[in-house]
Structure 1
Amino acid sequence: MPLTGIDLNQPLAPAAPAAPHSASGEAAATHDLAAVAPPARPARRWTPKRVVATPAAYDHAHGRRIMELVESQGIEVERLRSNRLTGLRGETDRETYARAKATMAIVVSPPSRRKLQPIAPSADWRFDLAEGCPAHCQYCYLAGSLSGPPVTRVYADLDDILAGLADYEGRGTITSRRDARRDEGTTFEASCYTDPLALEHLTGSWRRAVEHFGAWDAPVQLRWTTKFDDVDTFVGLPHHGRTRVRLSVNCKPVTTRVEGGTSRLEDRLAALRRLARDGYPVGVTIAPIIAVPDWRDHYTELLDGIADAVRDVPGLDLTAELITHRFTPGSKEVLLGWYPRTKLEMDEESRSRKHGKFGAVKYVYPAATMAELRTFFHTELATRLPSCRILYWT
């Protein structure tokens, strides 16, 4: 796809099945969380340098609400004459990346996005309220899942998207029909291609989704994961337990070397506690799990921090999703173009080569390493958080 002249009403073409979007933090959690959550720090909020809106976005009430919200924060919205986005090309690929990463486009979702797809092993169905993320994670799964410059697109047709979900109730195969997770009902994942809290102050989309599911009197559940902590607008909503928010976390050597632009780990754990105390089902997504030197010690510190964060929360409903680091030849090429000085290990010779469902090649840890990591996490989570349900390992 060329770097200019992008058709904003066409989806970013998937290059491979995407894992739920995930991230990590910067520091170990403090033990102050064991008693009460500390006062919330000022949220880290993204301010795009350029916001544009397609003509079609003006035809939707939520699109106009997004524009009003953006303009109320002193950000100008540029109305495009057509569905073509120009002005992204820089002197180098790196400059083009930077321009795209600083741009938010208000668009209408393409028809292909309205036909929901399964998202194993996370949930029954995936639906999107946005594509793209302003964070700078050097392991970013979107690099191998979406093609083209990383422009963040937010969808103006929110009301139509939410209304269309009812057709999928009871039709999934991950939680709708499996005894181990049947209590979750039909699950809808809303963070595969973005980080909701990175955009919520600009769109209000996920707050409206939480309210929609809260009013949906059926065995359903909204799911999303985040590496940000700006949860204050979600506390007190009538969610009725039908939204599970997962905080994406990792150990310190990973977070300090390969992630940028996200909330600190201790702030995310404080947000986890605030949501859990407000009655939300919550979770942790530990991803990508990386076998760094002394990984046992570093991940033990992380698990201790999680245990402190949720200690003494009444009625705690906590899950864990465990995702090891993997990469594809395509994602490696993109990531090295975005982050040429990355320290992230992507050595094919030290990995096992696997073929995905559709023949795509990916590189994962060798079987012995995977077994060692898996045994550690299952054992240590059971010791520190016996009530926590591990939903899957991959």
Structure 2
Amino acid sequence: MTLKIKQSKTKPYNGYKSFSYLEEGKDYKPYKLVPEIGRVEPFSYPVTDEQEDEVQQILDEDYIVSLHEHTFITPEDVGSIFEFRRQGRDWTGYEGLSVSGLDIVFENFMDGTAFITSNAGWKWNDVLHDLGIRYSDFAHQDLVIRAETMDDLYRAKKEGKVAFVTSLESSTQIENEVDRVDVLYGFGVRVMGIAYSEANALGCGLKEKNDGGLTVFGHKVVERMNKIGMTIDVSHSGDQTARDTIAASSKPIFITHVGARALWDTNRLKPDDILIACAEKGGVIGIEAAPHTTLTENHPEHSIESVMEHFEYVANLVGIDHVAFGLDTLFGDHVGLHHAFAGALSIQSSHGKQKFDEVEYVKGVENPAEAYPNVVRWLVSHGYSREDIKKVMGENVLRVLKETWAK
């Protein structure tokens, strides 16, 4: 039996770099950015020749979906990230996306760290600024298309493009204005979380010690999101807020990027009852891979093996029809960013008392360019059927969108 490593199929890419239609140094302050490909030693999950052929066929023919991603490129100097974010201008990793195998990306931008007017993030004007700047850049290239309907998703695959679904990890920016859900929908937002780390007018985030659950206003927002066709996410919501949201929603929801608390006891991951409740409502759970989240006792050094142990646990718990991948990667030093943003993102709070050896990056799923082909390789090499791979790599997500988006 021989092993073979191949380059995944690529989408047509013309070399465009973000904001190249502007004048560097005049229209914006330039930063040296990390390379999209090759920042760390490339890794392809080992498979046989025959398995690699199957992997490439899957990447070519089936829908490959990321339920949660941040496709921006970080500065090489992580210490400049606050100044970089305050500028309010993020570069998209188009070159990396072109070799990622991805057809659909739920793009979550960087609004928890939109520090244009405040160091707290989640300010209404900053969120709209963040969306508008990225949309302007999207309009000047031809690899990524903004997807707001099911037809957009299907068209992207057919045309060899990458469909971006605009997603926000929290509703904090709507404050106490339910009609802002409509405004965000008009701006293309199709998935939105209830709360991030801190509590807001809707409910509690995972940082809070006392989770009072979904508020009266939160119930109004859930109802509005159901009516307007915006899918709900509770990845960063506190446990009781997540339970209440699932119960209150008349439609399936997502937990876009998470793992099983049964395998690694931290607030960032969800207990079995919430995972089961999400599935029983018809929802889908995306498995997370951001550094030092989906660890396990069997694989305490975070890698693709740790991530896939969470995948198998959740799939066995709720069924293969309710699992997907929202690996939560980016182009840059993700561990370094976590250090820089530790206070703003409540990372230490989410780790709780768990002790672990820190890695420099999560081997096998370090960035969008390598993560999804490697997940497919892992699934093929572990004997998953083509039907089940199609489900977890895309079809499960598409099913929920058909049920939750406006017709």
TM-score by length of 1: 0.43
Structure with a larger share of its residues in strand: 1
Task: Give the TM-score normalised by the residue count of structure 2.
Answer: 0.42
